[in-house]
Structure 1
């Protein structure tokens, strides 16, 4: 499979200012040297606690932010090059927001919301064709045609999320970036949305980047998992082998997954509330297998097996 998306040494800091004659203002680093690749038809899960850089990475992939260093290649072409127009890139990569109510126009009905996108990208198409496409999109995501006259506030949480997915599909993208799309939904509705996304991925042969803090959902929906901590990638491994994670941070996330059976519950072996280390390994102050080397050097992301990478000096 060819690479659809390649991210190389991507770094971004909020408050960064590039100066011509004076020293640059660094600001607060949100991403540090992030690199990964996504093949056509592949689904990648990105997990980590709040503040790990997941949403910032999503904004960069959507060209909503400009990286300080590194590059994003889409089909081997620089996504930020002048040759790549914003409208053309939007046809390739689409975002599904976490909170659809805040991202949908409250003054537009369901049908108007979809037609607005279609008209923008198909200016010469007849109105009847545009309306037929919008109705077909509703059917694809499991919404009745009768809901086309409703406003966002008249829909349930699951219906609004289906509308948000339909709006993203309107331009027939190749890559979907889903940012915490099921975190605010009930468990039963979560299962329905996850099943819908799985169906759409197969029907439209889409690639997916699924951002979440829920490892259980990521394991169900994606083929590869990328674990982030404080803006850095600490581990990459197949989602089906999450139980074989080697990094202590990934292991702590696994232990935090709720288990109904008290006989199968696991206890935390490290504290997740300590402050982040300011030197050496970012996970140093929370780690229970740290050594002297961890205090001085930041571990690089290296291969330790088939399709598995880790940034830890003592993972062995």
Structure 2
């Protein structure tokens, strides 16, 4: 994938806290991340870890409690111009193509609406031409303009959702579980389409998913989230083949196919703690087989390992060294 090594997105100590029945719920906590132009970065983790909340902040649906989201160097919440331009620069493809499309509107109207709002200089004929071209790009012909979402299959609806997301020619696309609601056979088609469109338009993707097989195939880098924070971030191939953080090991072990070698397999134990009452110290320590007194009392910061990955674990260097020795 095309990677210019230019930061298009920089997240600095991002947090968001909700008040739920009088209790503070930290959905995202001091999250740091950079994404390069043309890159596909995936975020994985259990339901409730904050992946989708983070994605919604990127498209201005939620405002952070603290921290910064810098897109092309501008804070999207402090710069009025940046905030106004976000719909044209950052778009989201939602999980469920059944509920994300207005069932009372035809496909042509749904596609043209964004152009009507954000491209007022275009004539009706120009907008129709762009709609036709966009449908062709996602594998549909112009006859779909006169159909309603209920007349389309799940895969066709998601193709329309992709067309809607790309019709304003954004630079950055958030894919929030974009294939999880589709049949397995259709998932591969949509993933290939997303990959082809990324190459064609030099798009930058944030791919939110719980499917580790999908993100290992699609991604340049993978970030593993736990209770609102990133606990491991690194090259997709390296991280998939040799996870270091105990939670990452647990996730990838659970995704092993039947019959796959289970050497070093780590069983999933316990449940995800509530964000309104997170554990002290390392938030994963209540489920970690390697927990020590240090883990329960002090919160680990992300540290970089020799292979370039970042891990939030007090014993990251030790676990990394052990993994290298096993390879020898």
Q: Is residue 90 of structure 1 aligned with residue 87 of structure 2?
A: yes
2:247 aligns to what? Answer: 249
Q: Distance in 2 between matches of 1:275 and 1:60?
A: 22
Q: Tell me what 2:58 maps to.
A: 61
Taking only aligned residues, the RMSD between alpha carbons, in angstroms, comes to 1.8
**1:306 is matched with which residue?**
307
TM-score normalised to the size of structure 1? 0.93
Equivalent position of 1:10 in the other structure? 14
Q: CA deviation at 1:223?
A: 0.1
TM-score normalized with structure 2 length: 0.90
CA distance in 1, matches of 2:147, 2:291: 56
Match of 1:74 in 2: 71
Residues 142 and 256 of structure 1: CA distance in aligned 2, closer, same or farther (over 3 Å)? same
Distance in 1, Cα, partners of 2:50 & 2:292 = 26
Could you say which residue in structure 2 is the equivalent of 1:110?
107
Alignment-derived partner of residue 212 in structure 2: 215
Q: CA deviation at 1:263?
A: 5.3
Following TM superposition, by how much is the alpha carbon of 1:84 offset from its aligned partner in structure 2, in angstroms? 2.3
1:257/1:136 CA distance change after superposition, 3 Å: same
CA distance, structure 1, for counterparts of residue 196 and residue 158 of structure 2? 15
Task: State how far apart, in whole Å, the 2-side matches of 1:244 and 1:268 are.
Answer: 12
Is 1:177 aligned with 2:181? Answer: no
Give, in whole Å, the separation in 2 of the partners of 1:290 and 1:296. Answer: 11
Deviation at 1:126, TM superposition (A): 1.2
Where do residues 1-316 of structure 1 align in structure 2 (5 Å cutoff)? 1-15=5-19, 27-241=24-238, 242-260=240-258, 262=259, 264-265=261-262, 269-274=266-271, 276=273, 278-315=279-316, 316=318
The DSSP-based 3-state class of the residue aligned with 1:103 is coil
Distance 1:77 1:165 in 2: 26
Alignment gaps of 5+ in structure 1:
17-24
Residues 53 and 275 from structure 1, CA distance in 2 versus in 1: closer, same or farther, beyond 3 angstroms?
closer
User: How many equivalent residue pairs?
Assistant: 308
**What's the counterpart of residue 326 of structure 2?**
none
